[in-house]
Copies of this chain bind each other. A is one copy, B any other.
């Protein structure tokens, strides 16, 4: 199995990807490309198909500078053509009745299953901590797809988690129901990327059958 698939272009893609630090500030991204990146991100798996993820695309120079100021001055936020604020909707489950209705209409969900699905999800995410943690999970899954989609499209992307979430919310008029989970700077790379940081070996992070202190 492995031999035949070892050459899948996806494996080459993830091996060459590094977090971008340098962007060509002269090259913009058109709105269509931003929409395609977001569409790809929404193909991530999603608990109950709630799709907690939301995105604000920051593209104008003055806005990017304000976002940079809320991100400890990290340059890539302003140099990138677009920096996406990845938001998680802590009240995402409120939209689930509509989502399952569409799924039933599309034949993707048996009608008899829909009501129980909504009920179970509502119970689970009534707890604010559970909702917040699921938001971090599902938005991060989507963020990974977005970064890979950028790489596949000849762009570069870099995730940042060092920012002042309250300030980002204030500056970009983001309702408090949304948690800013991550920033993703996307643009055309300027020169070669940063060197890849060496990773821990597989044996340092993987155990079989039982846990251990790694």
Q: A-side interface residues toward B, CB under 8 Å?
A: 1-2, 4-5, 8-11, 13-15, 17, 19, 31-36, 38-40, 42-47, 49, 51, 53-60, 63, 85, 87, 89, 95, 99, 102-103, 106-109, 124, 133-134, 136-138, 140-141, 143-145, 147-149, 151-155, 158-159, 161-162, 169, 172-175, 177-178, 181-182, 195-200, 202, 205-214
**In the complex, which residue of chain B has the Cβ closest to the Cβ of A133?**
B136
* 15 intermolecular pairs with C-beta atoms under 8 Å apart: A4-B154, A5-B153, A8-B9, A8-B153, A9-B10, A10-B149, A11-B40, A34-B206, A45-B147, A57-B209, A136-B137, A137-B140, A137-B182, A140-B144, A141-B144
Q: Is the interface of A mostly helix, strand, loop or mixed?
A: mixed
Q: A16 to chain B: closest CB distance in Å?
A: 10
